[in-house]
Amino acid sequence: MKTTKNDIQQWFQALQDDICSGLEKLDGKAQFEEDLWQREGGGGGRTRIIQNGVLLEKGGVNFSAVYGETPAAVQQAMNLPPSNFFASGVSIVIHPISPMVPIIHMNVRYFEIDDNLWWFGGGIDLTPHYVMPELAQAFHRGLKSVCNEYQLNAYSRFKEWADDYFYIKHRQETRGIGGIFFDNLNETSEKTAKNNIWEFVQAVGNAFVPLYQEQCEATRNLPYGDKEKNWQALRRGRYVEFNLVLDRGTKFGLDTNGRTESILMSLPATAAWQYKYTPQADSAEAFTQQYLRKGIDWLGITP
Amino acid sequence: MKTTKNDIQQWFQALQDDICSGLEKLDGKAQFEEDLWQREGGGGGRTRIIQNGVLLEKGGVNFSAVYGETPAAVQQAMNLPPSNFFASGVSIVIHPISPMVPIIHMNVRYFEIDDNLWWFGGGIDLTPHYVMPELAQAFHRGLKSVCNEYQLNAYSRFKEWADDYFYIKHRQETRGIGGIFFDNLNETSEKTAKNNIWEFVQAVGNAFVPLYQEQCEATRNLPYGDKEKNWQALRRGRYVEFNLVLDRGTKFGLDTNGRTESILMSLPATAAWQYKYTPQADSAEAFTQQYLRKGIDWLGITP
């Protein structure tokens, strides 16, 4: 069966519905509010924002499907001739209230040029304010089993890609414990049929709610105080730095006159910066900091 | 008299001293802490940070003088051949505690390539959380009188340049009430001697303390509450967006492996984001918002 852009777009839209209802159930109180928007050159999206919940402080689950003439900025960045493009995807960032609960991000997307060039991209990564090795391991195990269904070495390929992508170069630290990241997946790069890649992308999308639920259930009732809230605010500051300085999706959106409120839904409700902040030796914060680096074998560690 | 890079560097260093003692006097309690740093390829700087004062919450006054082989990123960005460079300057961002007191920024800098190409750049701009037209006018009057000593049309040229530079394109708003901005000033572009340009840059540097003092004295005793603190946090969010997404100095610093803590001293202690925040009609916040646009003739308005 041929997977058309129409199928893909409809599936992404249904994924947005599923994830929103999953997150509402997880929160127990807050509901998503929806904004529909249209893009001048063609297409549009459904931005859904959740705020001030019991568990979730601020987050967004965005669906979009846009098309038309490839914008000049995109042509340049991707080295494309004048062409028509189609892009659809779901993009999520969730900031919880409790500093004990991790921030999560997911994105799955499909891109097509002139109805013949196409590729998939996406990823999930987790940013715990406090790294708990057993939960980090559980997260990576979950991602590995999604990847194993696809290709034997997919997890290690995409895990390494995430380590490189979610790296805050100017801080020499990763933004969290990573996850998986992939881009430009097509028949040539993956040596497999479009349907297989598409099934993998769907499996990534479907993994989001159960993976985050597991993290939330294990952490949402942990106690915390001002010290933990302060640290959370500083870690959120780093999240802001990553998203505004380094994230390609954000840059792409702002450069192509995307809907700013939808793009910047990824920013937390509050963030903080302190000159030369260094956690105290042997503190829980210092424990976390040592894990903010590339190349950790989360499946191999003994939590 | 020939103005050498040595003279310029020494003067900038003395300016840093003067401004730090002026700001300490203005605050009345907090003192700058100093960090000296060295750059691997040559040169270094003196970062001075003030925190938790009576008036000033977080700010930095940085001096640097760096030289060596022109970094690849700079060569590319400025379209230069392999060369040696020298760059020195003072760069300031001050975030006050009170939302009634404006944020201020100043930068003065000198750049030299291979001992023959040279130019000056710089600017001052003001970001009031609450625009008060009479104080905005006073600020621009002060800048105009500095510019008038230099060239007849300098104020209008550099004011327009600031409107364009300090513009948050993705928000379609200016970051504050602007000020002056200039770059690439040399004998060719300015049709005047190096000494005249240098005197102007010195006059800009010297204007900083009196200009900010005037703003602080008029606003530091104004009452405020939670509503004003919330708005301040949101306006600081926009300041973060400008600095991380758009500011060329920040980008240059991060791209060339500058000292991250010195570059990002410009970020506020705290900031906030709220999805689709819009001030209430006829509120003080809405009053401010209407002034966040280019092309306002601050000298011509009737406050």
Q: Please say if A95 is a catalytic residue.
A: no
Question: Would B297 be classed as within a structural domain?
Answer: no
By the CB < 8 Å criterion, does A240 face chain B? Answer: yes
Among A35, A237, A267, the residue with its CB nearest the CB of B273 is A267
The minimum CA-CA distance between A50 and chain B, rounded to whole Å, is: 9
Q: Which chain A residue lies closest to B247 (C-alpha atoms)?
A: A245
Interface probe for B, chosen from A56, A170, A248 (most Cβ of B below 10 Å), is A170
Question: Would A115 be classed as within a structural domain?
Answer: yes
* Chain A residues with beta carbon closer than 8 angstroms to that of B171: 260
- Is ipTM beyond 0.90? yes
Residue B50 has pLDDT above 80, yes or no: yes
By the CB < 8 Å criterion, does B280 face chain A? Answer: no
DSSP string over chain B: ----HHHHHHHHHHHHHHHHHHHHHHHSS---EEEEEE-TTSEEEEEEEEES-SSEEEEEEEEEEEEEEPPHHHHHHHT--S-EEEEEEEEEEEEESSTTSPEEEEEEEEEEETTTEEEEEEEEEEE-SS--HHHHHHHHHHHHHHHHTT-TTHHHHHHHHHHHHTEEGGGTEESSSEEEEEEEE-HHHHSS-HHHHHHHHHHHHHHHHHHHHHHHHHHTT----HHHHHHHHHHHHHHHHIIIII-HHHHHHHHTT--HHHHGGGS-SEEE--TT--PPTTSHHHHHHTT-STT--TTTS--
Task: Provide the pLDDT for residue B16.
Answer: 98
Question: Would A277 be classed as within a structural domain?
Answer: yes
Mean pLDDT, rounded, of chain B: 96
Residue B26 has pLDDT above 90, yes or no: yes
* Chain B residues with beta carbon closer than 8 angstroms to that of A273: 58, 264, 267-271
Residue A95 CA, chain-centre distance (Å), reads 12
A214-219 LR contacts (CB < 8 Å, sep 24+): A214/A135, A214/A138, A214/A139, A214/A142, A215/A101, A215/A102, A215/A104, A215/A126, A215/A128, A215/A135, A215/A138, A215/A139, A216/A26, A216/A55, A216/A96, A216/A101, A218/A132, A218/A135, A219/A98, A219/A100, A219/A101, A219/A102, A219/A132, A219/A135
- Structural domain harbouring A254: 5-289
By the CB < 8 Å criterion, does A87 face chain B? Answer: no
Residue A92 has pLDDT above 70, yes or no: yes
Is A233 in Cβ contact with B275 (below 8 Å)? no
By the CB < 8 Å criterion, does B272 face chain A? Answer: yes
* Chain A residues with beta carbon closer than 8 angstroms to that of B49: 275
The residue-averaged pLDDT of A246-260 equals 90
pTM for the structure as a whole: 0.96
Task: Provide the pLDDT for residue A115.
Answer: 77
Task: Provide the pLDDT for residue B1.
Answer: 64
Residue B48 has pLDDT above 80, yes or no: yes
Interface probe for B, chosen from A275, A276, A277, A278 (most Cβ of B below 10 Å), is A275
Share of chain B above pLDDT 90, in %: 90
Pick the catalytic residue: B95, B105, B129, B140? B105
* Chain A residues with beta carbon closer than 8 angstroms to that of B260: 170-171
Give B230-284 pLDDT, tens digit per residue: 999 999 999 999 999 999 999 988 988 889 999 999 999 999 999 999 999 999 9
Give A21-73 pLDDT, tens digit per residue: 999 999 999 999 999 999 988 999 999 999 999 999 999 999 999 999 988 88
Mean pLDDT, rounded, of chain A: 96
The residue-averaged pLDDT of A232-237 equals 98
Among A35, A240, A274, the residue with its CB nearest the CB of B269 is A274
Residue B115 has pLDDT above 80, yes or no: no
By the CB < 8 Å criterion, does A51 face chain B? Answer: yes
Q: Is the dihedral of CA A40, A41, A42, A44 positive or negative?
A: negative
Question: Would B87 be classed as within a structural domain?
Answer: yes
Give B129-175 pLDDT, tens digit per residue: 999 999 999 999 999 999 999 999 999 999 999 999 999 999 999 99
Question: Would A295 be classed as within a structural domain?
Answer: no
Question: Would A296 be classed as within a structural domain?
Answer: no
Is B245 in Cβ contact with A264 (below 8 Å)? no
Is A275 in Cβ contact with B60 (below 8 Å)? yes
For position B13, which CATH number holds? 3.40.1500.10
Give A178-195 pLDDT, tens digit per residue: 999 999 999 999 999 999
Higher-pLDDT residue of A227 and A257 is: A227
Tell me the sheet residues that pair with B84.
Answer: B69
Residue A1 has pLDDT above 70, yes or no: no
Question: Would A249 be classed as within a structural domain?
Answer: yes
Among B233, B240, B275, the residue with its CB nearest the CB of A51 is B275
Q: How many domains does chain B have?
A: 1
Interface probe for A, chosen from B231, B250, B275, B277 (most Cβ of A below 10 Å), is B275
By the CB < 8 Å criterion, does A245 face chain B? Answer: yes
Amino acid at B228: E
Is B268 in Cβ contact with A275 (below 8 Å)? no
* Chain B residues with beta carbon closer than 8 angstroms to that of A276: 35, 261
Residue B2 has pLDDT above 90, yes or no: no
